[in-house]
Amino acid sequence: SQQGEEDPQALSIQEGENATMNCSYKTSINNLQWYRQNSGRGLVHLILIRSNEREKHSGRLRVTLDTSKKSSSLLITASRAADTASYFCATVQINTDKLIFGTGTRLQVFP
């Protein structure tokens, strides 16, 4: 079974609104990463948060990590139509070299 599960599976919002995606995972991790995938393309790294960090910002992105709940959230503020994509969380399990992805959230931003 996969390490990460994103919620919701799909999200539709209007431009200017905020989008929040959640990721839950099963085992202890070294870090958690968020990636974006445009249709038909490879994934692009967005942000990495280490297990000893609780919050991280990058531009319009804000990521939180709660290791006690084994969960993370990705907030995209003031969304744009160009943010339309699928978003995935990925985790490196402690004592392994495996980067395991979740099932993703499909975000649609309407102009």
Partner 1 sequence: DAGITQSPRYKITETGRQVTLMCHQTWSHSYMFWYRQDLGHGLRLIYYSAAADITDKGEVPDGYVVSRSKTENFPLTLESATRSQTSVYFCASSDQINSPLHFGNGTRLTVT
Q: Which residues bind partner 1 (CB under 8 A)?
A: 2, 4, 30-31, 33, 35, 40-45, 48, 88, 90, 92, 97-104
Of residues 78 and 94, the one with the C-beta less far from partner 1: 94
Residues 68, 19: Cα–Cα separation, whole Å: 24
Q: Tell me if 83 sits within 8 A of 21, measured CB to CB.
A: no
Q: Which is nearer to partner 1, 75 or 100 (CB)?
A: 100
Is the distance from CB of 37 to CB of 86 less than 8 angstroms? Answer: yes
Measured from the CB atom, is 31 or 73 closer to partner 1?
31
Q: Least distance from C-beta 69 to partner 1, angstroms?
A: 21
- For partner 1, the closer CB: 19 or 92: 92
CA dist 47 and 62 (Å) reads 9
Smallest separation (angstroms) from partner 1 to the CB of 14: 26
Question: Rounded to the nearest whole angstrom, what is the least distance from the CB of residue 111 to partner 1 in the complex?
Answer: 26
48 burial (CB, 10 Å; 0-12 / 13-18 / 19+) is middle
